[in-house]
Structure 1
Amino acid sequence: MYAVYIYPESLFPSSIPSNTIFGALCSAFSELGFDVDGLLSCYPDNPPFLMSSGIPCEKRDNGSVVHFFPMPKIPSAKIPDESNFDAFKKFKKVRFLHEDIFLKLSKGELKSAGIMNFEKEYCIKSSGILIPKGDDFHREQLAADVPHNQINRMSSESEQFFYSEGCFYKEGSGFCILVDLIDDSWKDKINAGFSFLKDRGIGKEISVGGGSFEIEFGEYTLPEVETEYLTSISRYLPEDIEQFNGGIWYDPVTIHGRSTDGFMKKQVIMLKEGSVFRNTGKKYYGSVAMVRENPPVVEYGMAFTVPWGGI
């Protein structure tokens, strides 16, 4: 699995979901003269590549990188009874799992019931990250409010004062974006796209110097096992939720906003990272939604699936 590592160097978003990354890449591809329309026409049936959301990661002093994957949704039937309710209330704060825990759950070597009463073997760190006790954890991101002042271009008067949110990251703290290169010919283009974004930035604050980052490329191995269920580490826009016959658990997220020219895009509801659904044997899950006709604008909603044996 191809891996792109982003280490923020200025004010940066607190998260970078897959649809944001894909949109930024398409913008970079357009600037670089690549065939974006041809790329988009391949989805959802014949995608040249699939992308995860930004997975929090931490580079250790020895050069190794530790990854923290989205916490998969636990079916309500697996939630403990009242005797373990207090432990479960604490466990609900978990948003990410240390890769050692996640990979064991993925392969079915560990079940979610085995980590919900977590305080003997695990602990929760900043940003809701569950790690094994004794792990040398140093990842840190500090929230920051950025002041903005809206100026009337005609009168030069201030009309609105407001804040947006971002984060500053400790050195070595960043994100890993996994890329399933179905068509290897896109590797160099993806490298060029991220190199372009490195200079331009990513996120809402690029106009004021935010969103800059250092970049590294590498590899990562995910389990390849047959499981009854899958989890998505990207945002997911199901083409038909009825296909799972009730075997799906998720939290919804609403995607909306304006184009750069101020035009309001069509609203889309996706499933958050960590959604769990029945493995129906399909090769690809998800879709790409058209949220504006002219010029065409899309929201990327392909699932980046990982086997899930932890139920």
Structure 2
Amino acid sequence: MIKAYRIKFLSPYTTIKSYTIFGAFCWAYRLLYGKDRLENFLKEFSENPKFLISSPFPVIEDIYLFPKPFFELKLSSDIKILEKLKRKPYKNAVYITQKVLEKIIKGEVKNQNDLMKLNVKSGVIYDNDENLSSLNFGKNQIFVHNQINRINNESKNLYFEEGIVPFENQEKYFLVKFIDESFINEFEKILKIVQELGLGGNKNIGWGKVEILEDDKNFSFLGRKETDKFITLSPIIAKNINLKNSYYNFYTFVSYTDGSFEKPKLKGKIDYIEEGSIIKKQDTNQFAGVLKHISNDIYQYGLEFPVYMEW
């Protein structure tokens, strides 16, 4: 069963991924049940996940956006300049609409050239019969922070950090596929605590304040027959992937554990396969990603959220 939830941003925030939400969920779980029970939950989850979670994506005027897939791009060496210019906005696009995603699932759109038969605007590829009037994803802004010496209250140094300033009523949505449907009520109870704690970094200075609401939109079109090829809506820590026959982008993520309740611990470098990557699994009976055990009580979420393709 797939359920959707909306995030309304009430303050500046840092980038939020599926692993951000899962991490916040774990802290809320620990506050509610204690450290020992959380560790038992994570050990069980690493072997038998109760749910899969997507990264948040924009929803604007009830138009739900998804990450643009990493299609194979075949170009001839003698491509003309005008053709290159025509391709640029499609290459730089970040999102697609649900209608475009459904075309991809059915095999009506299979490559970058097929995408170029559709429309593109402000980084979004949309179908020819769709109308996108206003697109606003919030504004990236550089914030200046002043580090204070706690002993003499003098300024030590200034440092800069990038954050996202939401526009009025800005919302994103994320999806949860419940493998164990009996866990839904428990998940939503803990999600209320997540809402109170906030999401992302710098919560100690008021960032990441959110309102999280259940979304009644039907996403059953994502729950079709499972195949060995899918688009992921969540970054993946690769475990069971045929990289040769997949189209993907890697990025390296370095982070600390949340410092709201204890001293932060460095998790180290994690290599992720980005959302929108087209993945072919080696073994269809196993997950492509993993909840990675970093050390002792530290885990990093890296399971896929698959949108299976019918071709």
TM-score range, shorter chain: 0.7 to 0.9
RMSD: 2.3
Counterpart of 1:282 in structure 2 is 285
Aligned partner letter, 1:192 = K
For 1:201, the aligned partner's letter is: G
Once the two structures are TM-superposed, the CA of residue 184 in structure 1 deviates from its matched residue by 1.5
Q: Give 1:226 shift.
A: 5.5
The one-letter code matched in structure 1 to 2:18 is S
Q: Distance in 1 between matches of 2:76 and 2:112?
A: 8
Distance 1:271 1:95 in 2: 16
User: Contact conserved, 2:115 with 2:125, CA < 8 A, in 1?
Assistant: no
1:42 to 41, 44, 48: 44
Q: Report the Cα distance in structure 2 between the residues aligned to 1:284 and 1:276, rounded to whole angstroms.
A: 14
- Cα distance between partner residues in 2 of 1:79 and 1:47: 41
Q: Per-residue CA shift, 1:151-181, capped at 9, x if unaligned?
A: 2223432222112222222334321110011
Q: CA deviation at 1:274?
A: 1.1
Structure 2 residue corresponding to 1:167, chosen from 164, 167, 171: 164
What is the alpha-carbon distance in structure 2 between the residues aligned to residue 70 and residue 22 of structure 1? 19
Aligned to 1:255, which of 253, 256, 260? 253
Q: What is the match of residue 84 of structure 2? A: 85
Instruction: Give unmatched runs, 5+ long, in structure 2.
Output: none
Counterpart amino acid of 1:53?
A: S
Query: Compared with structure 1, are the counterparts of its residues 114 and 227 closer, same or farther at alpha carbon in structure 2 (3 Å cutoff)?
Result: farther
The aligned residue for residue 246 of structure 1 is 244
Give percent identity, aligned residues only.
Answer: 24
Which segment is superposed worse, 16-25 or 168-177? 168-177
CA distance in 2, matches of 1:154, 1:91: 54
Cα distance in 1, alignment partners of residues 52 and 228 from structure 2 = 21
**Cross-structure match for 2:58:** 56
Whether contact under 8 Å (1:256, 1:268) holds in the other structure is yes
Write the distance in 2 (CA, Å) between the matches of 1:29 and 1:287. Answer: 20
1:24-62: CA deviations, max 9, x gaps? 11001111217322321233441111101112212x3xx
Question: Equivalents in 1 of 2:121, 2:142: separation in Å?
Answer: 25
Which residue is 2:234 aligned to? 234
Question: Cα gap change, 1:49/1:265 in structure 2, threshold over 3 Å: closer, same or farther?
Answer: same
Task: Please point out which of 147, 155, 160 is paired with 1:158.
Answer: 155
Aligned pairs, how many?
Answer: 295
Q: 1:186 and 1:245 mapped to 2: Cα distance?
A: 33
> One-letter code of the match for 1:48?
K
**Which of residues 63, 66, 90 in structure 2 aligns to 1:66?**
63
What's the secondary structure of 1:43's corresponding residue?
A: helix
**1:79-134 deviation line (CA, Å, top 9, x unaligned):** 5662433322322211111111112112212233444425xx41221xx2223463
CA distance in structure 1 between the partners assigned to 2:310 and 2:91 by the alignment: 20
Matched, 1:130 2:125: yes
Residues 1:5 and 2:6 aligned together: yes
Answer whether contact 2:138 2:165 (CA < 8 A) is retained: yes
TM-score (norm 2): 0.86
Structure 1 residues 226 and 297, CA gap change in structure 2 (3 angstroms): closer
Stretches of structure 1 that go unaligned for 5 or more consecutive residues are: none
Cα distance in 2 for residues equivalent to 1:80 and 1:189: 54
- Asked whether the equivalents of residues 7 and 214 of structure 1 are also in contact (C-alpha less than 8 Å), the reply is yes
What SS does structure 1 have at the residue aligned with 2:302? strand
TM-score, with normalisation over the residues of structure 1? Answer: 0.86
- 2:175 paired with 1:178: yes
Aligned equivalents of 1:236, 1:177: Cα separation in 2: 16
Partner Cα distance (2:192, 2:277) in 1: 30
